[in-house]
Structure 1
């Protein structure tokens, strides 16, 4: 085993001491355990990738089918044109309808 000497900020040292006390282990063993857990855990999946995987597993996120991909490729409106069309639509905005449906705040 290789020996490692660290200089820690007082606050970090105190956090380590408290964790060691909570676990009933020495400072050295606690630091070794924390380093081992942090450095041997696979980090290939970012938070975004983990979220995408969870959503797909739950069936809440899927790939577009061939028909939807074709429709997306054929879309020819700009964002501004879509916004203008939605602004010109009759009736209340969806956000206002939702607020009305929720009722008064209690």
Structure 2
């Protein structure tokens, strides 16, 4: 574990001390709990914001029940898929995907 030294405003310190007394734990434990919760919620909110941006732009969607069922029944391995794609002639898959997406707005 890493040690961190902080200069806190008096009001924040008093709030920490008050919560620590109520919980009957060390102030450091309360501070660690708060920082852990805040960092986890920030990470989740960033992830959710990213998902929302991708969904709104049409780059992220949910699978339909039929698509989920087909995916569950698939037995094709990644190596087999690569072999099939390597034998295919024509444009690279990345170019096909870009064409399907259409022009950028």
Higher helix fraction: Structure 1 or Structure 2?
Answer: 2
The higher radius of gyration belongs to: 1
Q: Which category describes the TM-score, using the shorter chain as reference length?
A: 0.3 to 0.5
TM-score (norm 2): 0.43
